[in-house]
Amino acid sequence: MANLSIRTKVFIWLSLFLAISDALFVWINYRAEQTRFQNHLEQRAQYLQDLFTVELGNTSLRMQQMATFIASMPEVQQAFYQGRVAVESEGGGAGGARASQARAHLLQLINAPWQELRDHFDTRQLHFQFGSNATSFLRVHATDRFGDKLEGVRHTIFDAIRDQGATAGFECGKVICGIRGVAPVFHSQTGGINHDFIGVIEAGTSFRSLLELIEKPSQAKFAVLLSMSHLSQIYFPDRLVALAKDNPPINGNMIESTAHAEVRDLLTTSQIDELVKHSGTIWIKVGERHMAFTAFPLRDYLGERDLHREPVGTVLAWMDVEDDIKQLRRDLAINIAYALAAFFIIETLLFFALRKATFSMEKMISTQTAVLREMAVHDELTGLYNRHYLGEFLEKEYAIASRHERTFSVAIMDLDHFKNINDEHGHLFGDQVLAETANLIMSRLRASDLAFRFGGEEFLLVFADTHIHEAGIICESLRQQLESQVIGGLARGKVTASFGVTQMANKAEPLDTLLGRADLALYQAKNNGRNRVEQVLLTS
């Protein structure tokens, strides 16, 4: 290079520097996009776990309500009471002839409501137990199994008998695992055994209906896996052998529930096997498609009360992210194209256009980033802000309110009986209802208020520098306007909403607590008949 001019040397060195810089820029940007994508998947994974946990609690409560319904029937109380007396007079356990007659009588009484629970409420198990050892008197779903003691195995039942109160949660028994609800049964006459307390009734269901409910709004697929080590400690040995024959375990786990046959092949891959063992979120290529997987622990009734206990299984969720990966690649190609274009432009203009070209490129990238961010924080269907932006916005609003000693209110708005609209008219019609509802919200709120799509048919409204009573008035006005409008072509009053309103309490209160209080107010609105506004303030 000794014979080259200074201009040429500068040109070569600048060219080399620019080439390296462009390559580094593309690589860093691509890595940043991958990191953002991974963060998005992890946020999505948390949403799926929260959705599963909430629906598990709802299902447990529904089973508890079914058990309470059966326990309130006088004829069932009398028949169960007679059965317990017969068993105890015949030596306990399965009892003898009198116990058998009482069991048959109770089964006859329960047959009609049992069929109703199965057909309309997806109840899969109904079980009667009594005594300090939780003796099984009648499994309506498995009538050949009775007389065994469930103490030390079925803690939902044992705790309900011990405390003479209701319990609920997921738990495995000697015959089947399920989402359980247990209710006490009391004898309607005085002078009954154990101070009129007879025993308990347990209603249970599988994960099937739960998974169906959460797969639709989440657009993900789910599988519930149970640990063979846990099942081997609980199940009747012959039951476990028969079950393993029909449903062979994979890497120490048995598939408890899923609607997707491909899960067996997925579980045999080393990456998914490791994910199931350690939990987390990954994305890999499966066949010709890229898929995102997340796994989180499944805890039973005892595990929910003692987080130090080992999980009894794992929940695996996955979704297709091929379009997202293609977008990453398109972004990479665009970045490369921009880098090459910038390189040749800068090479041509050299010193004179270097600053201008750099400025132009930065402005272009900034504009694209702003556009992408704007797309990322809005819900595609309704145009409202989405849930990903909610946390960021609330943190800022919380900080502003705390710093200036102001307050703000939030409201969760939930369309009443929206599932019925989807079921009767289809999901496209439901989407139209959601979109028109969002338009109504935006047209009625104040300029300082913000609206978010919080879930499937849920919206979250944020009222800056607004006390709860003023926010309640705004929500009541919005509720009345919605009720009086023709939404999606439905008659006035066909589309209504329930509102749960609360207010920021103090600087130290976590945001999750604030949202939880709004959700409690919404639950009260639903519980009090829907199409209403309920307010809940933090009480000290």
Q: Is there a domain that residue 26 lies in?
A: no
Q: Give the number of domains in the chain.
A: 3
Q: Is there a domain that residue 299 lies in?
A: yes
For residues 173 and 232, state if they share a domain.
Answer: no
Q: Is there a domain that residue 372 lies in?
A: no
Q: Is there a domain that residue 190 lies in?
A: yes
Q: Is there a domain that residue 20 lies in?
A: no
Radius of gyration of the chain (CA): 30
Tokens at 351, concatenated: 């010193």
For residues 409 and 526, state if they share a domain.
Answer: yes
Under a CB-based contact definition with an 8 Å cutoff, are residues 521 and 412 in contact?
yes
CATH number where 190 lies: 3.30.450.20
Q: Is there a domain that residue 276 lies in?
A: yes
Comparing CA positions, the residue from 251, 232, 233, 180 lying closest to residue 243 is 232
Question: What are the beta bridge partners of residue 252?
Answer: none
CATH number where 411 lies: 3.30.70.270
Under a CB-based contact definition with an 8 Å cutoff, are residues 462 and 452 in contact?
yes
For residues 410 and 508, state if they share a domain.
Answer: yes
Whole-model pTM: value is 0.58
- H or E stretch covering 180: strand 177-186
Question: What are the beta bridge partners of residue 282?
Answer: 293
For residues 115 and 172, state if they share a domain.
Answer: yes
Q: Is 148 helix (H, G, I), strand (E, B) or coil?
A: coil
Q: Which of 298, 320, 342 is the last residue of a domain?
A: 320
For residues 310 and 428, state if they share a domain.
Answer: no
Q: Point out the residues that are catalytic.
A: 457
Q: At what angle do helices 427-444 and 468-484 cross, to 10 degrees?
A: 130
For residues 504 and 471, state if they share a domain.
Answer: yes
Comparing CA positions, the residue from 186, 204, 208, 183 lying closest to residue 195 is 186
Under a CB-based contact definition with an 8 Å cutoff, are residues 416 and 459 in contact?
no
Over its length of 540 residues, how does the chain's per-residue pLDDT go in tens digits?
556 667 677 778 777 777 787 778 777 877 788 788 888 889 999 999 999 999 999 999 999 999 999 999 999 999 999 999 999 999 888 889 998 999 999 999 999 889 988 888 888 899 999 998 889 999 998 888 898 888 778 899 999 999 999 999 999 988 889 999 999 999 876 544 445 899 999 999 999 989 999 998 899 999 999 999 999 998 888 889 988 898 999 999 999 999 999 999 999 999 999 999 999 999 999 888 999 999 999 999 999 999 899 999 999 999 999 988 888 888 778 878 777 777 778 777 755 654 564 455 556 666 666 666 666 788 889 889 988 888 788 888 888 887 877 888 999 999 999 999 999 999 899 999 999 999 999 998 988 899 999 888 999 999 988 999 999 999 999 999 999 999 988 999 899 999 999 998 776 677 888 889 999 999 999 999 999 999 998 765
Tokens at 468, concatenated: 């709860």
Under a CB-based contact definition with an 8 Å cutoff, are residues 384 and 452 in contact?
yes
Rounded CA-CA distance 498/532 in Å is 5
For residues 307 and 416, state if they share a domain.
Answer: no
For residues 188 and 224, state if they share a domain.
Answer: no
Tokens at 397, concatenated: 């609003």
For residues 87 and 150, state if they share a domain.
Answer: yes
For residues 226 and 159, state if they share a domain.
Answer: no
The distance of Cα 178 from the centroid of its chain, to the nearest Å, equals: 18
For residues 393 and 479, state if they share a domain.
Answer: yes
Q: Is there a domain that residue 339 lies in?
A: no
Q: Where are the alpha helices (DSSP H) in 133-286?
A: 155-163, 208-218, 228-234, 237-246, 263-267, 270-278
Under a CB-based contact definition with an 8 Å cutoff, are residues 126 and 141 in contact?
yes
For residues 83 and 115, state if they share a domain.
Answer: yes
Q: Give the pairing type, strands 197-205 and 289-298.
A: unpaired
Q: Which of 304, 320, 336 is the last residue of a domain?
A: 320
Q: Which of 288, 320, 352 is the last residue of a domain?
A: 320
Comparing CA positions, the residue from 247, 72, 88 lying closest to residue 177 is 247
Domain of residue 411: give its range. 387-535
Q: Is there a domain that residue 13 lies in?
A: no
DSSP class per residue in 215-258: HHHH--EEEEEEEHHHHHHHS-HHHHHHHHHHS--BTTEEEEEE
